[in-house]
Amino acid sequence: MLSNLLNFVENTARQQVPLMTTILLVLMSVPPLYLPHYGGIAINLSLIGLFYWAVDKPELLHPVTTFLVGLFYDFLAGTPAGMFALIFLVARVLLGIYSKRLRGTTFLPLWVGFSLVVFGTSFVGWLACSLWYGEPLDLVSVLFHSILTVALFPFGAALLIWISRKVYRVS
């Protein structure tokens, strides 16, 4: 009886790992880093988590969850409410189509896939935000923001691969 309960708790906890790590990455994206000139191009780390889990464990990152994580980021960061919910959803939909091809590949195709998602979603974000503000945002900042996000992917992915191996090696 007790072992059944423990198994249930353990399995439930395992299933929540993608969501929890993505939320943790949201929280880590918000505190200041005090880096010169970083403000205008600061990245949203949770996109790395979203991409990784959507490829590795898509069944554990439902579109509704993705939407809610994006909305949580919007409320916390002060971006127009719904903007990152939209960006994350677009990313999730794109990844839903290509995740099977990316799963089990080497790191390079994964990185290229992430780059395409980042540039695609950044463009969606730029477009949505420009429409929202009623004037075009600086495209160069968005470009540098995307390049920095892509550059940081190996570090974030290495951590998530390690977590995934630790958590899902039995299942």
Partner 1 sequence: MRINSKFKHGSRLVRLSFPPRTMVHKSLIFVLISAAIGFMVLDKNESATIEKTSVVIADLFSPILDFISRPAASINQVLQGLDNLSQLHKDNSVLRAENERLNDWKMIARDLRAQNKALKTLLGYTGDLPPSQVTARVIGDAAGPFVRTLIINVGTDRGIKKGNAVISGEGLIGRVIAVGKNSARILLITDINSRVPVLVESSRDRAILTGTNAGQPKLLFLPTSADLTEGDRVVTSGHGGVLPAGLPVGTILNAGDGNVLISTFARLDRLEYVRVVVRDKIISPDLN
Residue ranges that bind partner 1, judged by CB under 8 A: 27-44, 63-64, 67, 70-72, 74-83, 85-86, 89, 93, 125-126, 128-129, 132-133, 135, 137-138, 140-142, 145
For residues 23 and 160, which CB has a smaller minimum distance to partner 1 in the complex?
23
Closest CB 146 distance from partner 1, rounded Å: 9
Report the distance separating Cα 96 and Cα 114, nearest Å. 13
Report the distance separating Cα 3 and Cα 30, nearest Å. 40
For residues 64 and 158, which CB has a smaller minimum distance to partner 1 in the complex?
64
For residues 48 and 85, which CB has a smaller minimum distance to partner 1 in the complex?
85
For residues 56 and 74, which CB has a smaller minimum distance to partner 1 in the complex?
74
91: amino acid identity, one letter: A
Closest CB 150 distance from partner 1, rounded Å: 15
Report the distance separating Cα 113 and Cα 5, nearest Å. 40
Closest CB 100 distance from partner 1, rounded Å: 15
Closest CB 101 distance from partner 1, rounded Å: 18
Least Cα distance to 45 among 118, 116, 94, 112 occurs for 118
For residues 23 and 110, which CB has a smaller minimum distance to partner 1 in the complex?
23
Closest CB 158 distance from partner 1, rounded Å: 20
Please compute Rg for the chain using Cα positions.
17
Give Cα separations from 94 to 37, 52, 66, 113, 115 (angstroms).
Answer: 31, 13, 13, 10, 13
- Exposed, middle or buried, 81 (CB in 10 Å: 0-12/13-18/19+)? exposed
